[in-house]
Structures are given as structure tokens and as C-alpha cells.
Chain A
Amino acid sequence: MKEIIKITISLTAICVAAALILGAVFAKTEDVRKKNQEKIKEETIQGLLGFGHGKKAPEDLKIFPVQRYVVSEPKATLLGYLVPLKDKGYALVTVDLAGKPLKAIPLKADAAKIADAGTRDAAVKEALPKDAKATYADTVYVANLGDKRLGYVVPGVTQGFKTFVNLMVSLNPDFTVTGIEITKSEEDPGLGDEIKRDYFKNQFKGKTLEILKTLKVVKEPLPTDYLVALDPSKSKATQDQIGQISEKHLKDDIYALTGATISSRAVTNGVKETVRKFVYRFGILADVMKQENVQAAF
């Protein structure tokens, strides 16, 4: 009997000590981790827009995040878009599930409040009726160069080989894909993990909305000349040559990675879905803003 008490105390003490150490380390590192993650996200977005890798983003590049919320009211479910306004304020533009515009609710918040997830959720909740519940869904980024629209960066999720693959797609104002980036994935190293390589990601570059609609994955070897254009860092092709080759293969389907057809297909479907949903949602949002006369900052 005495021994069991000793064992219990000993094991409890070990667990408590371990928990304390972990808690202390977590408290010390969590803020740094969050800050670094924000920084990486920012870099990814800028990279997708064509800046980074030594090319500095111009001063007049402005990236506006637009958060989407799912608002559950007792009677109906709505979608709310958190739109930055021209005169420094923010508005929650609500739309019903069929795409019918509802109203724009002004928000009491400033940029700092919107940047932090916690205070942003609180601000949205405050603007809504008391019995409504708002759940954060995702954020799309609208990029302007001066007053001109540069493009959009849209996040997406897709079911990979085992777990989910998070990706980001950048589009130009005509909704042509200008690049994709895999932000989080757990595909097998050496096989599915190759989706992160340039020669795979660059295959999506230049695909228009029309091409994307019928885009498939084919199990054919990647043509050698195409590979040169897809991975410019490894070849000495000039910009013109790359442009020509890319033009020639523009309407090609996506060439599956060797030994990773499922991952290739997952990314392709993910990009298609992400773009399709974004174009649909953004169209509705633009209509609503016009109708309600919301002067967005972008």
C-alpha cells in the first residue's frame, strides 16, 4: 500500500514538472511563433504577386485582406464579408446563401483591431444582432498597385494523399492564375511532397478561367522542353524562350508527378475549386457593394 502511494506521488511529480516546463516554454515561444508565421504568410503573398526573391515590393503596393464570416442567425445562415472602406472604416457586407445582397453594417474598428483575430471576432459580433453567431471562415487578399487592381491571392484547402493540403492561388484581374504556393502539407517526402517543387507549381501559371474549367491531370511524362520553361533556375533559357514554350503548352493538362498521381490530382482539384468559388463569391460581393453603395478601399 505504501509503495503505490510512493509511485503515484512520484509519477504525479514528474508530470507536473514536465507540464510546468512545457508551459513556460510555450509562453516564451508562442508570440514569436505567431509573429514569424505572419511574416511568412506576408512573404508568401508578396511572392505570389511577383515580388520577393530580391525584387522589392513597390511603395504603392497595397494588400487588403477581406475576411469572410459565416453568420448564423436563428432563422437563416448568411455570409458576411469584412470589407475595408475608403474612409478608413470597415463594413460587414452580408449576403444570403443564394447570393442575394442583404445590407452593409458599419463596424467600430480600426486596422490594429482587425489585424488581431480575437479583437476582430469581437468587433464583428458587436455589429451583429444579439442572437447571431459569427464564425470566421477565411481571408482573401485583394492587391492594388496604386489605384490599379494588381490581382488577388486566395487560400484554399484540398484533401491530399493522407491529410489536407493548404494552398494559395494568385490571380490577375481577369482571374487567370499567376501562381500557386503550397502553404501546408504532409505529403510523403520524395513523392507527394514534390508538389512543392517549381516544375509542378509553375504548370498552373497562365491557366485562364476557361482552361481551368476543363483542366485534368494526365499520367504522361512531362515534355522535356516544357520542363525547361517550368524550372528556369536550372536552365539557361532566356525570358523569351520561356514565354514561347509556356505559350505552346498553355492549354496542356497538368502532368502528374511520378509516383504521386493522387497528390497531383488533389492540388489540381484544389486550385480549380478555390478559383471557382472565389470568382463566384467575389462577383456577388462586387454586386452587393455596388447596390448598397459601399465604397471599398480597393
Chain B
Amino acid sequence: MNRNVTLLWNGLIPENPIFRLALSLCPAVAVTTSVKNGLYLGIAVIFVQVLSSCTVSIFKSLIHPRIRIPAYVIVIALWVSVIDMVLSAYDPHTYEKIELFIKLIVVFAIIISRLELFASKEPLVPSFFDGLGMGIGFTFGLCLVSAIREFFGLGQIFGQDIVDLKFLVMILPAGGFFVIGFVMATFNWIEYKITGKIPASGGGH
């Protein structure tokens, strides 16, 4: 298979940031009360991840290895601020909905982890696909968790009433931990069924 496609697939399932790498669990618990929130945050993360990965990949030779972490943080903060400003100017209605989360992306572990582990060593094109894959994987994780929580907690999907169900604990933070735990366990169980091996924790990081 083409390496770029492998990288994309890798971020989606085998190294899914939330369920396999267990990174960025804080936002995964905090914002996944409705699919809409999860989707918006996920899309913002895709942009930040891809732009940061590309930037670091292009300028990697100029970044002194001893200050790489602060340099990465500045790159991430730069792109988050740019997206924040552009969105607040040109699409204030969407911005209103994700205003709360967008600034938090600066401290998402998944982004800096991809910069450190991948983009700082690889050329531009693979970095782009790795960032895109990780972003999509993260979005997929958020959407899955928030769909489960929204359905059981509010009886809704995407803000539409489906069943008359109000299991409030699912919407509260504790419910987030439950759902992520169960989905993670399901992923491990599927992998065990397919490969017959007990999965290593944390995807090796």
C-alpha cells in the first residue's frame, strides 16, 4: 500500500489518538457532550495538526534540538491563534460554538506528540498525511464518544430528539470516562479477536 494511505489509516484506527495512544483524553472527556461539539473541535484539530506538522517539517533543520519543545509550542500557538482570529472574523456563528475549546488546542498532547515523533524527522508530504490522519482519527474518536454520550444522556443525536432518554450521568464528566473506557476496551477486544494477541497499552508511546 502507498505509504501516505497507510499513514492516513494509521491515524484513524491502529494508532487512533484517543483509543490507542490514549492522548488528549482531557478534551475527549470535556467537549464530547454532543456530536456537534465533538465534530467542530475535531475539525479545528485537523487544521492545527496539519498546519503545525507541515511547518515543523519544513523548518526542522532551523530548529535547534535543545529548544525544540518551546519552538513546537510557539508553532502550535501561532496556528491556533491564526485560526481563532480568522474564524472569529469571517464566521462568527460557528466561532460562537467553538470559542470555548479552540484556544485549548494549544495544549493538546496529540499535536505536540506528532510533531516530536513524526514531523521533526520526516519530509513534508508524509508529515502532511500523518497530521491529516491523526486529525481525522481524533475527530472520529470525538464523534464516536460524543454520539454515545449524547444518545444515552439526552436521547439526541446531532441535537435532534430521537428517544425519550435522560441518563444524566452520561453527560456529566464521569460519563465521559465510562464511555472512553468502554470504547477503548472494545477496540482492544476487536484487536485481540483478530490478531489473537493481547494489545500493548498506549500504542507503544
Q: CB-nearest residue of chain B relative to A30?
A: B89
The reply on A21 being an interface residue by CB < 8 A is: yes
Let me know if B86 and A29 touch, CB within 8 A. yes
With contact pairs A22-B78, A26-B85, A190-B154 given, residues A32 and B63 touching in the complex (Cβ less than 8 Å): no
A25 touches B100 (CB 8 A): no
Cβ contact within 8 Å between A11 and B67: yes
- A11 with B90: in contact, given A18-B77, A25-B82 (CB under 8 Å)? no
Give B179 Cβ to nearest chain A Cβ, in Å. 13
> A22 is contacted by which of B67, B82, B150 (Cβ under 8 Å)?
B82
Bits for B54-67, please: 1 = Cβ < 8 Å to A, else 0. 00000000111011
A208 to B92 CA separation, bound complex (whole angstroms): 34
Find the residue from B34, B62, B71, B77 having the highest chain A CB count within 10 A. B71
Majority-rule SS of A interface residues: helix
Q: Check: A37 CB closer than 8 A to any chain B CB.
A: yes
Q: Is A6 an interface residue (CB 8 A)?
A: yes
- How far apart sit A15 and B92, CA to CA, in the bound complex (Å)? 28
The 8 A CB mask of A184-201 against B (1 = contact, 0 = none) is: 001011110000000000
The answer to whether A25 and B86 touch across the interface, beta carbons within 8 angstroms, is: yes
B81 near A190 (CB under 8 angstroms)? no
B74 at the interface (CB under 8 A from A): yes
Report the bound CA distance from A188 to B168 in whole Å: 14
The one of B85, B100, B150 that contacts A186, using a Cβ cutoff of 8 Å: B100
A-chain residues with CB within 8 Å of residue B64 when the two chains form the complex: 6-7, 10-11
Q: Which of B45-100 contact A (CB under 8 A)?
A: 62-64, 66-67, 70-71, 74-75, 77-78, 81-82, 85-86, 88-90, 92-93, 100
Chain A residue at minimum C-beta to C-beta distance from B78: A18
- Chain B residues near A21: list those with CB within 8 A: 78, 82
Instruction: Select A29's contact among B89, B150, B154, B166, beta carbons within 8 Å.
Output: B89
In the complex, are the beta carbons of B171 and A190 less than 8 A apart? yes
Measured CB to CB, the nearest residue on chain B to A4 is B66
Contacts of B168 in A (CB 8 A): 258-259
The docked-state distance in angstroms from the alpha carbon of A18 to that of B80 is 12
**B contact set with A: CB distance below 8 Å:** 31, 33-34, 37, 62-64, 66-67, 70-71, 74-75, 77-78, 81-82, 85-86, 88-90, 92-93, 100, 150, 153-154, 161, 166, 168, 171-172
Listed by A's residue number, 8 A-B pairs whose Cβ atoms lie within 8 Å are: A7-B64, A7-B66, A7-B67, A21-B82, A189-B33, A191-B171, A234-B161, A259-B171
Interface positions of A (Cβ within 8 A of B): 3, 6-7, 10-11, 14-15, 18, 21-22, 25-26, 29-30, 32-33, 36-37, 40, 186, 188-191, 234, 258-259
